[in-house]
Each structure stands twice: as C-alpha cells, then as structure tokens.
Structure 1
C-alpha cells in the first residue's frame, strides 16, 4: 500500500497538482471538517467506484488512516493501481498542518 504524508498532501494542494482526494468518513464527520475532497463513505466505496479516478493519483483519507486503508485495499482488488493512503488522516492534518480544524 502506497502512503502519503499530510505534508506531501499539503504540497500537492498548494501546487495545484492534478489529483483526486477522496474522504471515506461518515456524513457527520465530513460535515464537521473536511479538506474539500470528494465524499464517498467507506460503506459505499465499491458502489461508487466509478467516481474514483483511474487516470491520475488518488489520495484516500479518513480520520486516522485506518478506514482509508480498507477502502484502498477494496479498490486495489478492483484493479486500481493509482491509490495513496493519507497517513494519520485528518487527525494528523490537525496536528501537523492546521490546528484550527475541528476534529472529534
């Protein structure tokens, strides 16, 4: 499983790099705080797999990195090879990048 740090994600966002960010947390979590990624809760990731890009890097995130790794493995089993797990999830983003973001 390929991983990306929150600093690497921030660099991608800041540089305007072409990639897709997918947040697999539940609705209430996404509404509490998000980084602007496409919201596809983990339970629906395979149902909505057609919304996951195959032609550019895809970073998958959640609260801590556990659910996103599950989503990544499920999608890789469907043939995806362009996926990265956000190490530490939004908790790491708050700790290392933006301490003002709300987490729970």
Structure 2
C-alpha cells in the first residue's frame, strides 16, 4: 500500500509490530537512512528474495528507497513472499522530513 509521507510516518510511529526496510544500495544507505532501518538492496535480485525470506513475515513492513519506485517493487515482491502488510513511502527518502542518520 502506498502511503504519503505523513501517513507513513504516523502509522510507523504507532505500530508495535513494525519492521523498517531500506531497499537502496549499501552505498546509499551509508550516506543517509532512517534510524532503525534494515538495508536489503532490491537490486540483489534472488539475493533480495533469500534475505527477505529469513525475516518475520508477520511484521508490518515499512519500505522506502530514494524516491519510492524501488520500494513499490519491493512491496510487490514482499507480498508474493507472504508478507501481508507492506507500506511504501511515496517520495522516498528524498521527501523525508523525519529523522535520519
């Protein structure tokens, strides 16, 4: 599900079952990321699938990338792998006004 910056931030903040996933490259992640995020690069292809398969699929996945395109694709893949709740950050970290590190 695509959420606006405000909706995504508010929902994430109030979700006790949230898992924060950054699907950008490790280099992008090193530059800047949202605190608490796990980085799994969607460009790894099958490697992305293997790593995601190890995660707790009962979590609510809050997914972001640079602008929202890769994370939208990642949400589709997560859904196919059995994750029921995925939330894509529209505008990605480019539009993010929240905390970063």
TM-score band, normalised by shorter chain = 0.7 to 0.9
Structure 2: runs of 5+ lacking an equivalent: none
**TM-score where L is the length of structure 2:** 0.79
Q: How many residues align?
A: 97
Which of the numbers 54, 61, 65 marks the counterpart of 1:62?
A: 65
Shift of 1:53: 2.9
Q: Which residue of 1 aligns with 2:30?
A: 31
In 2, the alpha carbon distance for the partners of 1:25 and 1:45 equals 11
Q: CA RMSD in A?
A: 2.2
Q: What is the alpha-carbon distance in structure 2 between the residues aligned to residue 13 and residue 63 of structure 1?
A: 18
Q: Runs of at least 4 residues of structure 1 off by over 2 A?
A: 8-18, 50-53
Quote how far apart the aligned CAs of 1:25 are.
0.3
Other-structure match for 2:40: 40
The unaligned stretches of length 5 or more in structure 1 are none
Deviation digits for residues 54-97 of structure 1, max 9, x if unmatched?
2221111100010111111122222222111111110110xxx2
Q: TM-score, normalised by structure 1?
A: 0.77
